[in-house]
Structure 1
Amino acid sequence: MNDQIFETVVTTQSPEGVAHVAPMGVRYQGARVVLMPFKPSTTLANIVATRHAVLNLLTDTRVFAGCVTGRRAWPLLAAEKIAGQRLACALHHVELSLDEHLDDALRPVLRMARVHEAGHAGFMGLNRAQAAVVEGAVLVSRLHMLPMDKIDAEMAYLRIAIDKTAGPGEHEAWGWLQDAVAAHRAKAASR
């Protein structure tokens, strides 16, 4: 298996049709996409129940930051070949079907077959602020696991890229991340 991880956003839906949007690192294994969601998770439950997911490739980093700060309501469009939805802001999406499920106590391996894919917008390249927001979102998702001095040091370093290359979307996303760190700090101080 390729150990290189690509940061994407996976959309799933419950059997009742309720959409769920979640950032997720994925691996590509030939024509298959490998997902390894943690137990328990809505993404895992939805894929096991419906056997489908949509992989969204995007540069709007507000989705990454928004999902880890409680903003999961993003505009969605119907998938074309599976029962599911894709992000309206996706540059490209891949509709997936569960091909193999290897259970694990912590992180099951879901090998997903590509059912359909389509491009929706051109890729203009990345700027450093986009990478900083994605990395900041990973840090925020781990606030409960990491010491505050590590969070502060890494956020300060990432801030350099925000200051130099961010556009309005990255500034908005960065603000959400900073607010989440400040809320975590305040909660920890009140204990």
Structure 2
Amino acid sequence: MARLESKIHEVILTTLSEDGQIHAAPMGIWEEKGNFIVAPFKPSTTYNNLSRYPECVVNYTDDVRVFAGSVTGRRHWPTQAATRVYGGVLVQALAHSELRVTQLQDTDPRAHFYCRVIYEANHRPFRGFNRAQGAVIEAAVLVSRLHLLPFDKIERELKYLQIAVDKTGGPREWEAWEWLMEQVQHYRGEEMKS
């Protein structure tokens, strides 16, 4: 069986809310043949925003605080106006792609917005991720799924990821890690009350 050529990128997607505010959300998006597929869960702010305004910005950043902050309620990051779409580019972005939705498959539990790149720019060089940055991104994915996965599985995976943060984390990675651990502890406390 032929395998479809596709890549998944962990990015920060910015969309425009109904009141004109920029909404930042971490997202794994697919790249296929030069186009992107954005597949937000339903219901979600990203889904609502893209349904209303079919344009968005893909932000590529190595500041993992944005990933951790987006899943722990710290969504307000400085932005500047996009060039060709209505939306915002994160000031922390090393590069960005501006997308326009060309097709929507409105399926459950995730919709699939097929997007065409209409503008791209590089702002600063990408020097690569250290292990702590990769660990923080993986931990952010786990925290975003606290309500979906067994808590003991999450604890095991976080314990393993902690090793990379201990070995290679700098101040930004540690700040992001602490935000995520606060969220895990808060969730655990709420679960114990119920």
Aligned mate of 2:168, from 151, 165, 168? 165
Number of the residue aligned with 2:46: 43
State the identity as a percent.
Answer: 46
Q: Counterpart of 1:41 in structure 2: which amino acid?
A: S
Q: Secondary structure at the match of 2:7?
A: coil
Decide whether the 8 Å contact of 1:7 with 1:26 is kept in 2.
Answer: yes
Cα gap change, 1:15 to 1:178, in 2 (>3 Å)? closer
How much does 1:188 deviate?
1.3
How much does 1:100 deviate?
1.0
Corresponding pairs, count: 191
Residues in 2 aligned to 1:133 and 1:2: alpha-carbon distance in whole angstroms: 27
Decide whether the 8 Å contact of 2:7 with 2:32 is kept in 1.
Answer: no
CA-atom RMSD in angstroms: 1.1
How much does 1:22 deviate?
0.4
Decide whether the 8 Å contact of 1:2 with 1:27 is kept in 2.
Answer: no
Decide whether the 8 Å contact of 2:6 with 2:32 is kept in 1.
Answer: no
Alignment of 1:34-183 (within 5 A): 34-183=37-186
Question: Deviations for 1:36-72, whole angstroms, at most 9, x for unmatched residues?
Answer: 1111111111112111000001111101110111100
Question: Deviations for 1:78-116, whole angstroms, at most 9, x for unmatched residues?
Answer: 001111111110000001101111121221111111110
How much does 1:15 deviate?
4.2
TM-score normalised by length of structure 2 = 0.95
Q: Secondary structure at the match of 1:118?
A: strand
Number of the residue aligned with 1:189: 192
Instruction: Could you tell me which runs of 5 or more consecutive residues in structure 2 were left unpaired when the two chains were aligned.
Output: none
